[in-house]
Amino acid sequence: MWSLLITSNTQWVFFSTMMLGIAAGVIGCLSYWKRQNLMSDALSHAALPGVVIAFLLIGEKNLLVLVIGAAVSAIIGAFSIQWITTWSRISEDAAMGMILAVFYGLGIMLLTIANRSFGGNQSGLDSFIYGQAASMVKSDVMTMLVLAFVVLLVVFLAYKEWKIFLFDPQFAKGIGLSIRGMSILYTSVLVIAIVIGIQAVGVILMAALLIIPAVSARYWTQSFRMMLMLSALFGGVSGLFGTLISATGKSLPTGPFIVVVAAAIFIISLILGKEQGVLLHYFQLRMQRKKANAIGTKERSIT
C-alpha cells in the first residue's frame, strides 16, 4: 500500500481529486443558495451522452475532448430544462427529472453501442459512470487541475457579485448587475465543476459531491463566506480520503468511496453542528422544558 502511495502519479491523482472536491464544495454552495440542488444531478447525468459521442467521433479516450463533449451535452441539458419550464406548464423540478432520465438513458444506449463497435479502444468508458481515479494519467490530472482552478478563480473574483445575485436579485438589478449574465455564469461554472469530476467520481455520484459538502457546512455556520470555506474543506477531505481508500484495493470505483466519506462528514455535522445540529437542538429543547417547568412551579407556589 505505502509503495503505491509514494509514486508521483498516485500523489498527483490524490491532489487532483482533492482539488475537485474543493471546487465541487464551493460550487455546491452556490447551488444550495440558488435552491437548484437537483440541477446538479440532472446536469451530471446529462453529461454522459456527450462523453460517449465525443469518443465515437475521435475513437480514443482523450480526457480534454471527452470533457468538452460532456460540457456541450450538459449545457444542452440545461437549456432544455429552461426551454421546458418556459414554454410549458411543467415545473422546473419535473423538467430536471425528465432531462436526467432521458439524457442518462441516451448515454447508456450510446455506451452499449460503443462497447460493441470498438475493439478494445472503449475500455475504461464505463469508469465515467461510477468513477475511477486510478485510471487517470498525468495529462488527465493536469486537465482537471486547470479547470478546477478556473472554477475557484471565477467564484473568488466575483465573490461580491455572487452574494448579491444569490441573496438579493432585486438589488442586483437596481445596481445594474445582469441577472441573465450571472445565471449563465453560474450554469457555466456548474457544468465545468461537473465535467471535471466525471472520470474521478462518475456521472451518477458527482451530484452528491456537489450537494453533501455544502449541506454539511450549513450545520456549522450562518456566514456565506465561512460556508464556502467549510464546504471546500469538506469536499477536499472527501476527495482525498475517498481516493485513498479506493487506491488500497484493486479496480475499486472511486466515486462511491468519496461519497461515503462525504456522507460520514455530513452525519457528524448533522449531529454535532452548532447551527441546528441534532445534539445542540436536543439540549436547547431540554433547557426550554426545564425553564418552562421552573416557571410553572413558581406560578403554582405563588397561587
pLDDT band of 267, cuts 50, 70, 90: very high
Host domain of residue 114: 2-272
- 81 lies in a domain? yes
Of the chain, the percentage scoring pLDDT greater than 90 comes to: 39
pLDDT tens-digit readout, 6-24: 566 677 788 888 999 999 9
- 299 lies in a domain? no
From 73, 88, 214, 196, select the one nearest 143 (Cα to Cα): 196
Q: Are 114 and 52 in contact (CB under 8 A)?
A: yes
pLDDT band of 30, cuts 50, 70, 90: very high
Check which CATH number belongs to the domain holding 134 and give it. Answer: 1.10.3470.10
- 301 lies in a domain? no
How many Å apart are CA 191 and CA 207, to the nearest integer? Answer: 11
Tally of domains in the chain: 1
Contacts of 172 (CB under 8 A, 6+ apart): 161, 164, 165, 179, 182
C-alpha cell read off for 27: 460550487
User: From the CB of residue 233, how many other CB atoms can be counted at a distance below 10 Å?
Assistant: 17
Average pLDDT for 256-273: 92
- 24 lies in a domain? yes
pLDDT reported for residue 62: 77
pLDDT band of 3, cuts 50, 70, 90: low
- 253 lies in a domain? yes
- 148 lies in a domain? yes
- 298 lies in a domain? no
How many Å apart are CA 174 and CA 162, to the nearest integer? Answer: 15
- 165 lies in a domain? yes
pLDDT tens-digit readout, 194-235: 988 887 888 888 888 999 999 999 999 989 999 999 999 999
Phi/psi of residue 221, nearest 5 degrees: -155, 160
